[in-house]
Amino acid sequence: MIELNKVYRSDAIFFMNQLSDNTIDISLTSPPYNMGKRVKKHEQSYIYNNADNMKKEEYFTWISSLIQENIRITRFYFFLNISEVQGNKGIITHIHKNFGDQLKETFIWAKTNSPSHIVPTMTSKAFEYIFCFSKDTPSSFKYNYCNFNQHNGDYVRNCLIHNIGKSKSAHKYTFDEWLPSFFIKNFSMPGNVVFDCCNGSGSTCVAAKRLGRQWLGCDIVQQYVDTSNILIENTKIIVDNPKLVNPQQSLEMW
């Protein structure tokens, strides 16, 4: 039985295979970018899992499975944060080619403080993609299920300009809470279920709880699971949400 409001230790694809269609309202994740060889050389203490050190063809197959499963289990939107690096070069073209019909919109995270590249003749990676895959009329840019309205004074852009924060957890490569908060706040409702299949430091689940949503996460590394569960437990809800259900509620499985 998979209970809501928990982070589990599990392989991402295996975990999602246990969930029925449309059991998650929105999913949001930032998977490994296949940086394994460079990371192992310069960060000896950090090896995420084999998904960060694959042959390129294997990585593309893994990413495809991850996207397919997230779309299958999600009712509304799946947001995928990814950057093109040497180990996954061509991944953006691969995603457009194989999932273009389900791609609703592309968001750009423009980093205001991107560090210099370790190779002196390579440019700094100053932006990342956040792809929005949808069952909500993906051929249209209009969001039928969302929590914002420009006529009410909301101003939601598809270019997010923000700095890179310093990691406060054992997970060295992480995004700050502001990033999942943006998507959770604008593209889900209080009480909705938010899922992150590559939970890492727990930013997505922390933001979900803080904003009065239910959450679910998984990660292959036990240390990240333990630290993120503690972090989530100590997070205070800032949105008064009477729709939150019993935290022991479980999801329907195959």
Give the gyration radius of the chain's Cα atoms.
18
* Ordered structural domains, the chain, with CATH: 25-190 (3.40.50.150)
CA-based nearest residue to 183, from 160, 164, 165: 160
**Taking each helix axis from N to C terminus, what angle separates 222-233 and 203-210, rounded to the nearest 10 degrees?**
20
Query: Where does 30-102 show beta strands of DSSP type E?
Result: 74-82
Residue 97 in tokens: 């080619």
Greatest mean pLDDT among 45-59, 132-146, 160-174 lies in: 132-146
Summarize pLDDT for 9-21 with one digit per residue, the tens: 999 999 999 999 9
H or E stretch at 15: helix 12-17
Q: Considering the chain, what is the average pLDDT of its residues? A: 85
- Residue 172: pLDDT band with limits 50, 70, 90: low
3-state percent breakdown (helix, strand, coil) of the chain, nearest 5: 30, 20, 45
pLDDT at 174: 58
For the cut 60, the answer to whether the pLDDT of residue 102 exceeds it is yes
Residue 175 in tokens: 């995004």
CA angle 59/63/68 to nearest 5° reads 150
What number of other Cβ atoms are within 10 A of residue 142's Cβ?
9
The stretch 117-123 carries a mean pLDDT of 83
pLDDT at 226: 94
**160 close to 108: Cβ distance less than 8 angstroms:** yes
Residue 222 in tokens: 């036990």
Summarize pLDDT for 123-132 with one digit per residue, the tens: 888 899 999 9
Length of the chain, please? 254
pLDDT at 88: 92
pTM of the model: 0.86
pLDDT at 254: 42
